[in-house]
A and B are shown apart, each in its own frame.
Chain A
Amino acid sequence: MIELSKIEFRYPAAGGFKVSIPQLAVPTGECMAVVGPSGSGKTTLLGLLSGILKPSSGSLVMDGTDLARLDEGQRRRFRINNVGQVFQAFELLRYLSVIENIMLPRYIHGSATQTSAARDRAARLLTDVGLDARANAYPSELSQGEQQRVAVCRAMLNQPALLLADEPTGNLDQTNKQNVVDLLLEQAKANNSTLIMVTHDDSLLGAFSSVLDIQSLLADEPRREDLS
């Protein structure tokens, strides 16, 4: 369960732009799409949920841990262990092979013994997404759809409780868009992860159990449309 209460975040370098979230609760295992115009605070919401940003006030409790009370190091460790992220531009490291890219969270925070287990898990994820034959390829040798699948695998490596995806379909054609969304939903369901995905594409909303309009969230009474 994720619970946000009276959250405020102010960008110091953006003329004091402030995002306020009075109340939001996301049950475990929920697959939620977040929509809203550019600059409305969607990415800020993901930053807060992942612990990259620290709220100025309020509480952000995820499975009993209040991220608002953690220091940067603690939030970083929490993120590594509990949050998987899929970025819009895939952001794979070009000098690592496909399997090494998937294992990146382990290279950042993990021991040698964990690395071996992580390699097995990465190989399984690659098999799940049909890329097991491309394990040693470099990102530049993959199509965009394949790169995005690798990015999803990387986000799923640590079997995160929360999977965040920031417009992961923005650069893809319609077929690949649907494939990525299906993959995210499938992986989230298989792992019982909560999925929160930011998108501008209305055609994808039908696949989610709920849709959150960020503009309504920022008002006192957030509107959450339950699609399930």
Chain B
Amino acid sequence: MTGAFFLGWRYLAFHKLKTTILVGSITLMLFLPAAVRLLVNDSATALTARADQTPLVVGAAGSPLELVLNALYFHAEQPPALSYDNFSELRDAGLAVTIPMYTRFHSRGSPIVGTTLDYFSFRDLNLAAGRMMGMLGECVIGANVAARHKAGVGDSLVSSPETVFDIAGVYPLKMNISGVLAPTGTPDDNAIFVDFKTAWVIQGLGHGHQDLERPQAAASVLNRSEGMVTANAALQQYAEITPENAAEFHFHGATGDFPLSSVVVVPPNEKNGALLRGRYQNNAKGIQIIVPSSVLNDLLDTVFTVQNYIILGLALLSLATVAVITLVFLLSQQLRKGEFLTLSRIGASKTYLATLIASEIGFVFTGSLVLAAGLTFITRQYALQILQIFLGF
């Protein structure tokens, strides 16, 4: 019967286009539902794992989901800003470790996360090279950022303007890389971490320039009056913070009004957590306090419902595909009556002919199964990267 398998194989190999279409259809029929389920499950696991590690998030009143996505995954959508005074109030309450987050800016597609060193110990992030940021203007980059930009300790990254013609807005600050984080497989790999005050400098709330009291800056002084010096455009402004000019960087306005995106709150026990939640219940003071895992569970309930609809749709599509494939095989057998008659006249039995047809079906389904399994394996291997590409997590 090996001859029947050989003939089956040769038939499929000769009709390459037909075979490819059949194998492709069956592969997709098998692969798509598996891939959807895999990606949804993996994304749910990835989402909930990070959310489960984050006890509470505080932000300005608004969409809880937007706040969670921004605070945990540095998602581009900006929740309403929280003031630094709000953060100070939380911190001064002494009920929990409070970690400020300011995630408004980007550098070449990577989010710049303004925070404090507490963030690294909270997320258990370790350095692969260098040291943590020690001064204004320094940054620590995630493993993927280092790979994507081929950047390391001693290199620098420049913050991107928010719009092309952003003259007065975001300050294009050159940030020196002091450290590179070890990979974690989390959104932290894709982030550039700076002190939150550096993020304020990027925003233009703080800046550095020549000291107008020094003789070298005399040419830039337009007017001196009591308590106020007016400078002209010749005044040298710094686009990079260095040890030499760091002291000349300063902030204008009331720091308490400066913005933050959110605050990650880590209470030491249930009681403190409950106290904090009670304090900001019903969006008191225009502030919301949320448990990220419960927000994401609500989202995932919706995602799983959608997933079930998609799989149902794919199942119906698979039924249609099976019907079409059956029709193709039956029509093919009709067209091959002459061939089967020849084989029979030469000496092929009915069993031989049945084996020939079965081998063709077997090859097509085995090929499809192997391909679908391979694609599913690749999807599983690269699920995280796929999710990062499509969902930005």
Contacts and interface: CB of A to CB of B under 8 A. Distances in A.
Interface of A: 50, 52, 73, 76-77, 79-80, 85, 87, 91, 93-96, 100, 104-110, 112, 138
A77 B347 contact: yes
Contacts, number: 50
Given A91-B338, A91-B342, A108 B347 contact: yes
Given A73-B349, A76-B347, A109-B3, 19 more contacts: A52-B345, A79-B346, A80-B346, A80-B347, A91-B338, A91-B342, A93-B7, A93-B339, A95-B11, A95-B13, A95-B15, A96-B14, A105-B346, A105-B347, A107-B6, A108-B346, A108-B347, A108-B352, A138-B14
A85 B345 contact: yes
A93 B346 CA distance: 12
Contacts of A106: 3
B171 to A, nearest CB: 70
A93 B347 contact: no
Contacts of A100: 10
Contacts of B15: 95
A107 B3 CA distance: 4
Contacts of A80: 346-347
Contacts of A79: 346-347
Nearest to A138: B14
A164 B342 CA distance: 14
Contacts of A76: 347-349
A148 to B, nearest CB: 15
A108 B348 contact: yes
B291 to A, nearest CB: 65
Nearest to A72: B349
Interface of B: 2-4, 6-7, 10-11, 13-15, 338-339, 342-343, 345-349, 352
Contact of B10 (A96, A110, A112): A96
Chain A binding surface, main DSSP class = helix
Nearest to A112: B2
Contacts of A85: 345-346
A104 B2 contact: no
- Which 9 A/B pairs are nearest by Cβ-Cβ distance? A107-B3, A95-B14, A80-B347, A91-B342, A108-B348, A79-B347, A76-B347, A95-B11, A108-B347
Nearest to B342: A91
Nearest to A109: B347
Contact of B342 (A73, A77, A87, A112): A87
Nearest to B344: A52
A104 B11 contact: no
Given A91-B338, A95-B11, A96-B10, A108 B345 contact: no
Nearest to A78: B347
Contacts of B339: 93
Contacts of A95: 10-11, 13-15
A75 to B, nearest CB: 9
A107 B348 CA distance: 9
A104 B346 contact: yes
B324 to A, nearest CB: 22
Contact of B3 (A73, A87, A91, A108): A108
A100 B338 CA distance: 18
A93 B340 CA distance: 10
A52 to B, nearest CB: 6
Contacts of B346: 79-80, 85, 104-105, 108
28 contacts: A50-B345, A76-B347, A76-B348, A77-B347, A79-B346, A79-B347, A80-B346, A80-B347, A85-B346, A91-B338, A91-B342, A93-B342, A95-B10, A95-B11, A96-B7, A96-B14, A104-B343, A105-B346, A105-B347, A106-B3, A107-B3, A107-B4, A107-B7, A108-B3, A108-B343, A108-B347, A108-B348, A109-B3
A94 B14 contact: yes
A110 B10 CA distance: 17
Given A87-B345, A93-B342, A110 B3 contact: yes
Contacts of B338: 91
A94 B4 CA distance: 16
A52 B13 CA distance: 31
